């Protein structure tokens, strides 16, 4: 399970929690402009926008969980089991595998609008990265400094939803989350209004009582509401350190503590890492479960004209490492 948010306060940012019971062999991978991206059914991209993000440890193709390109367009994949439906490849169509969609769009597009035009021609098809790695069931959040959308490949085809809330979690589909948010319309960052009865003078006895009823559990629907409430009531100075700190504070409030969420197999679902990206400046900040010190990788300091992937290993201690095949 995961949570993704977009945030604008001077510069434009996005952040995400990666919630898993294992490590994917995390590396921050820079894909420079001249690295040849070889797609399964599409023409290779020989020259393209540079991008960087967290990915699985593959040296042949960047298996991004989330990434941002040099134009500030970001994209993240989140677990979407029971709902994700991928199509069969169609001769002559733009057939893109789930593991290819992030690098494909970020390589080609400078904005959500450009990505939307490309997606109108696309089919997300059930092509695995390898035989032992079946396609992960995902949906995606895509955004820039102007707009944010959700992509869901379902039985009816590829759906593109406008996302003014700028939050995404896992199941159910995005329309449910958007409608469910209205159940909490009376929440307030202040003390709230006494609507219990006008005949009873019920006065608040402490700060924060307007937020009573804000979900605190780890379910995806509750995390969506909690993240949205925190995001849209957030206040901080319009400067880099304050913004980065604020995003991590929001993500901390929807993170998973090891042992509090168990999978069906009895393993611990936990927030293995959290990241925050300044889309305008191309800086990728991250911290891990065992190391809360924020570290950063900056695109501008790398060789964007290179022909090889640039990898920065990330240590996720105390978590078994598995392949990229499972959901995010």
Mind telling me the catalytic residues?
2
Q: How far does the chain reach from its first CA to its final CA, in angstroms?
A: 6
Strand order in the sheet with 310-313: 157-162, 148-154, 138-143, 74-79, 64-69, 51-55, 27-31, 310-313
In terms of Cβ atoms closer than 10 Å to its own Cβ (0-12, 13-18, 19+), residue 201 is exposed
In terms of Cβ atoms closer than 10 Å to its own Cβ (0-12, 13-18, 19+), residue 298 is middle
Rounded-to-integer distance, Cα 104 and Cα 202, Å: 57
Pick the closest to residue 96 from 52, 50, 47, 140 (CA basis): 140
Cβ atoms 41, 98 nearer than 8 A: no
Pick the closest to residue 285 from 73, 78, 139, 68 (CA basis): 68
Q: How far is CA 191 from CA 186, 205, 222, in A?
A: 11, 10, 21
Q: Which residues, in sequence order, are CB contacts of 217 under 8 Å at separation 6+?
A: none
Q: With H, G, I as helix, E, B as strand and everything else as coil, classify residue 288.
A: strand
Helix runs in 157-217, H state only: 174-180
């Amino acid at each position: 399970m995961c949570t993704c948010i977009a945030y604008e306060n001077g510069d434009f940012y996005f952040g995400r929690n990666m919630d898993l019971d294992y490590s994917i062999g995390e590396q921050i991978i820079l894909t420079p402009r001249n690295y040849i991206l070889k797609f399964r059914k599409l023409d290779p991209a020989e020259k393209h926008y540079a991008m960087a993000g967290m990915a699985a440890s593959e040296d042949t193709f960047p298996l991004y969980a989330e990434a941002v390109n040099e134009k500030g367009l970001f994209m993240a994949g989140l677990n979407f089991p029971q709902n994700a439906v991928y199509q069969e490849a169609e001769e002559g169509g733009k057939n893109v595998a789930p593991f290819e969609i992030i690098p494909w769009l970020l390589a080609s597009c400078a904005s959500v609008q450009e990505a939307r035009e490309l997606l109108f021609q696309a089919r997300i098809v059930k092509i695995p990265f390898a035989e032992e790695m079946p396609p992960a069931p995902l949906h995606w959040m895509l955004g820039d400094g102007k707009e944010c959308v959700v992509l869901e490949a379902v039985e009816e085809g590829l759906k593109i939803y406008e996302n003014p809330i700028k939050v995404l979690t896992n199941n159910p589909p995005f329309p449910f989350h958007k409608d469910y948010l209205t159940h909490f319309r009376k929440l307030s960052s202040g003390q709230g209004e006494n609507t219990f009865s006008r005949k009873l003078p019920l006065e608040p006895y402490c700060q924060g009582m307007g937020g009573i009823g804000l979900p605190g559990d780890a379910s995806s629907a509750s995390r969506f509401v909690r993240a949205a409430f925190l995001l849209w009531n957030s206040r901080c100075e319009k400067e880099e350190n304050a913004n980065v700190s604020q995003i991590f504070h929001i993500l901390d409030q929807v993170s998973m503590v090891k042992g509090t969420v168990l999978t069906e197999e009895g393993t611990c679902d936990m927030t293995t890492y959290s990241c925050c990206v300044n889309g305008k400046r191309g800086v990728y900040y991250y911290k891990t479960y065992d190391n809360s010190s924020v570290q950063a990788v900056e695109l501008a300091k790398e060789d964007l004209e290179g022909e090889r992937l640039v990898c920065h290993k990330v240590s996720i201690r105390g978590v078994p490492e598995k392949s990229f095949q499972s959901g995010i």
